Amino acid sequence: MTELVVRAPGRVNLIGEHTDYNDGFVLPAAIDRELRISYRRTDDRRVVLTRLDEDETLAFDLDAIGPSGGSWIDYPQGVARELAVEGIAMTGLRGTISSTLPISSGLSSSAALEVASAWALSAQHPPPIDPMALAKACQRAENRYVGVRSGLMDQFAVVFGRPDAALLLDCRALLHEGVRLPLERARLVICDSRAPRDLASSAYNTRRSECEDVVRTLQAAGEPVAALRDVDGPMLERHAHHLDPIGIRRARHVVRENERVRAVVEALRKGDLLGVGRLFAASHRSLRDLYEVSSPELDALVTLAEAVPGMFASRMTGAGFGGCTINLVAPEAVDRFAADVHAGYLARTGLDADIQAVSLATGAGMA
């Protein structure tokens, strides 16, 4: 049988962090670092995958999907379970997974594996399902099977990525539109902190419950809210006395971060890169001090970036607890930016940051 290859890109999030599972707004963009599955179909209903970076082969049976086991095969396996629920015909396969996307760095390697798996498993190409429903099925795999209660942003960006625009998503209405970036004046540069990211998924789930607790408290006080999306600053401050100190910090972040998404979109449309920079800086501070998901390494990368001439905007991107920063840098300043930040970060932390300019990319599909 012929060899088939599916690809799924990673993503950066320009702004709107920890807002997706609060029914808010996000502005991700798919990037040209991607995961690929090369495979041949079989008729034995077995899915056998080898991860080339770890040289590890794991397998499961499409007709006997057991409980999750805590390894990377949970992602394709969880996706197979959700595709079965959607009634999508699947075939067995023998395949290898390769990736130019750093794993567990906050660039959506998990969502890329989920969406690439969905394409590879589906007997039909494209998978016979509405693309938003496909993104949601992959999110459910992560929520229910892997056990991370992530929002929809990553799977959405991996499915809908465009080579010419970032994507503004309203996570409640599930409506989205492209937002062009002034890439002739500012390149997207990623700094991977390469710091260990332990306990990220349990801390992530805790943040999500803390937000839900605030919503329940506001509902008990008579406010007609379904999610933090419905809360504004004055309402939150009116109830500050019966919210616990952690809850109020988390909610203040989410309420203001939603406002910042809209403000960044407006600044990008006007070409106001300095305005974008101020909003990125405010977002980073809020994630550090109110949402408490930054790390000393991410803070160091942002501080070092801010000292480089030609750097417009810098903040942590993704869930946090380690991972990457996203930076908008004038094209002629990229080399100096990479050299200065790399050297300064090595001196401060002893770590070898991976710094790369990236381009936008199209969503998952056949390679």
Q: Return residues touching ligand GLA (CB under 6 A).
A: 13, 17-18, 20-21, 150-151, 153-154, 318-319
DSSP-derived letter for residue 223 is -
> Tokens at residue 301, please?
């990368």
Q: Taking the mean position of all CA atoms in its chain, how far away is CA 36?
A: 18
**Other CB atoms within 10 Å distance of the CB of residue 59:** 14
Contact between residue 248 and residue 236 where contact means Cβ atoms under 8 Å apart = yes
Residue 220 has φ and ψ, to the nearest 5°, of: -65, -25
DSSP string, 60-115: EETT------SSTTHHHHHHHHHHHHTT--B-EEEEEEEESSPTTSSS-HHHHHHH
Which one, 151 or 344, has the nearer CB to ligand GLA?
A: 151
Three-state SS at 36? strand
CB neighbour burial string for 245-265, b if at least 16 within 10 angstroms, e if fewer: eebbbbbbbbbbbbebbebbb
Least Cβ distance, residue 319 to ligand GLA (angstroms): 3
Least Cβ distance, residue 216 to ligand GLA (angstroms): 20
Which one, 287 or 308, has the nearer CB to ligand GLA?
A: 287
Which one, 38 or 117, has the nearer CB to ligand GLA?
A: 117
The strand pair at 25-26 and 166-170 is best described as antiparallel
Least Cβ distance, residue 151 to ligand GLA (angstroms): 3
Q: Tokens 């991976």 map to which residue? A: 354
Which one, 62 or 231, has the nearer CB to ligand GLA?
A: 231
352 is catalytic: no
Which one, 38 or 317, has the nearer CB to ligand GLA?
A: 317
Of 40, 18, 11, the residue nearest 112 (C-alpha): 11
Least Cβ distance, residue 333 to ligand GLA (angstroms): 27
Which one, 38 or 109, has the nearer CB to ligand GLA?
A: 109
Least Cβ distance, residue 44 to ligand GLA (angstroms): 33
Least Cβ distance, residue 241 to ligand GLA (angstroms): 29
Query: Considering 20, 154, 192, 340, which one is annotated as catalytic?
Result: 154
Q: Active-site residue numbers?
A: 154
